[in-house]
Amino acid sequence: GAVVSQHPSWVICKSGTSVKIECRSLDFQATTMFWYRQFPKQSLMLMATSNEGSKATYEQGVEKDKFLINHASLTLSTLTVTSAHPEDSSFYICSARAWGTSGSPYNEQFFGPGTRLTVL
Amino acid sequence: DAKTTQPPSMDCAEGRAANLPCNHSTISGNEYVYWYRQIHSQGPQYIIHGLKNNETNEMASLIITEDRKSSTLILPHATLRDTAVYYCIVRPWNNAGGTSYGKLTFGQGTILTVHP
């Protein structure tokens, strides 16, 4: 399967600071990337969907000014948690989806390994 | 508003087949059944997907009932490394490209524990 990487794998920051998480598709071009958040013992919750070159679409209840998403290239998307607070501590996971050539759509989503954010 | 129902947990002996059920009684004609799994503190891993025919790959088999209202994921020879949360997801197929249509919505999944 296709490989998606995330960096960093874990980060600890002070309350009020901003943190940037990178998501890269290593061996395919991702026209669409998704950002999820997962709290302990809970399932993944979709935060936003981003298409290369356009603004992200946020799910209801997710503050777009707090979680800034940039998808400037077909292999890189970034999530910036601005003015992070302890309640933002979570496991953030990105996912990338590619599209194949005409007649053979490649629609599976591949997930990164996740980034553990701890805000003190 | 998950569209699938899975048992919260299951156990399986190492080396035996693990059969994970999923109910999706409201599935639409254009929706596929996808299975992912998540090992502790890792990102989800794609396993298999299907529309109406049974599917098999190197990881697992997917059996979908004729009315498509339920399916079973089969791990033929479970190992300790198969211990994970398994998610059954229905999603519309979209080959239009470049949209958020067909995003994956995760339910609570089934915690599969494989024991020696």
Return d(Cα A26, Cα B75) in angstroms, integer. 28
Q: How far is A70 from chain B (nearest CA, A)?
A: 15
For residue B98, give the nearest of A4, A31, A111 by CB distance: A31
Q: Which pLDDT band, with edges at 50, 70 and 90, does A27 fall under?
A: confident
Q: Cβ contacts (< 8 Å) between B104 and chain A: which residues?
A: 34, 46, 95, 109
A60 Cβ contact partners less than 8 Å away, ≥ 6 residues apart: none
Give residue B111's identity as a one-letter amino acid code: I
What residues in chain B have per-residue pLDDT under 50?
1, 96-100
Question: Of the candidates A33, A19, A20, which has an alpha carbon nearest to the alpha carbon of residue A75?
Answer: A33
**% pLDDT > 90, chain A:** 71
Question: Of the candidates A93, A11, A98, which has an alpha carbon nearest to the alpha carbon of residue B43?
Answer: A93
Checking if the pLDDT of A19 tops 90, the result is: yes
Residue of chain B nearest A56, judged by CA positions: B100
**pLDDT for position B105:** 87
Q: How far is A34 from chain B (nearest CA, A)?
A: 8
Checking if the pLDDT of A102 tops 80, the result is: no
**pLDDT for position A103:** 35
Where is A110: in which H helix or E strand? strand A109-111
pLDDT per residue as tens digits for the range A49-88:
998 888 899 999 999 999 999 988 889 999 999 999 999 9
Q: Which pLDDT band, with edges at 50, 70 and 90, does A99 fall under?
A: low
A36 bridge partner residues: A46, A93
Name which of B95, B99, B108 to mutate to probe chain A: the one with the most chain A Cβ atoms within 10 A of its Cβ.
B95
Highest mean pLDDT, choosing among A18-22, A24-28, B38-42, B88-92: A18-22
Q: What share of chain A is helix, strand, coil (3-state, %, to 5)?
A: 0, 50, 50
Return d(Cα A80, Cα A68) in angstroms, integer. 5
The DSSP secondary structure of A5-41, one letter per residue, reads EEE-SEEEE-TT--EEEEEEESSS--SEEEEEEE-TT
Checking if the pLDDT of A100 tops 80, the result is: no
Say yes or no for a CB contact (<8 Å) between B94 and A114. Answer: no
**pLDDT for position A105:** 41
What are the tokens at A66?
A: 């707090």
Q: Between A97 and A38, where is the model more confident?
A: A38
- Tokens 């979209």 — which residue? B94
Say yes or no for a CB contact (<8 Å) between B93 and A107. Answer: yes
What are the tokens at B26?
A: 């409201």
**pLDDT for position B82:** 97
**% pLDDT > 70, chain A:** 92
